[in-house]
Amino acid sequence: MHEMSLIAEMMNMVRESAAHNNITRISRIKLVVGKLTMAMPHSLRFAFHTMARDGLFQGTELLIEEREVAYQCCQCGEKYLPDMPYGQLCPNCGSKASHLLSGRELFVEYYEGDSGKGEENGANTHGN
């Protein structure tokens, strides 16, 4: 299952980052998922709750934001969605030259957790 490996990778990343920041429990993860990844939010959630067995992810809330697939025309700069009647042609000038603005992303926008000392802000990384 596609989503299982995506979530496993995401959890490893968060786990590593949490270890660096002395965070012992993650309270919330915000995930941004483009529709071109073909990952279904309900499958991502299911995968997460299946794998989130250890203390770090105890009671973690998983927020998922889906991003539409969007293109920007290289000729005129028009931004458009590819499922318009024009397909992947620019609806403004008809050009085929476009680049993907969004839709392929899959990343953790932020996560929140406790450092075990009752401090809310785990992202505080002051030097000594």
Residues engaged in binding Zn ion (CB under 5 A): 73, 75-76, 78, 90, 92-93, 95
Q: Give the tokens for residue 117.
A: 């000392």
**How near is the Cβ of 78 to Zn ion at its closest, in Å?**
4
DSSP per position, 55-104: GGGTT-EEEEEEE--EEEETTT--EE-TTBTTBTS-TTT----EEEEESS
CA dihedral 47, 45, 37, 11 (to 10 degrees): -60
Q: Give the tokens for residue 22.
A: 């002395």
Q: 40 or 69: whose CB is closer to Zn ion?
A: 69
Q: 93 or 123: whose CB is closer to Zn ion?
A: 93
Q: 33 or 73: whose CB is closer to Zn ion?
A: 73
Residue 71's CB is within 10 A of a number of other CB atoms, namely: 21
**How near is the Cβ of 68 to Zn ion at its closest, in Å?**
18
Cα(104)–Cα(54) distance, rounded to whole angstroms?
Answer: 30
**How near is the Cβ of 95 to Zn ion at its closest, in Å?**
5
**How near is the Cβ of 77 to Zn ion at its closest, in Å?**
7
Q: 5 or 95: whose CB is closer to Zn ion?
A: 95
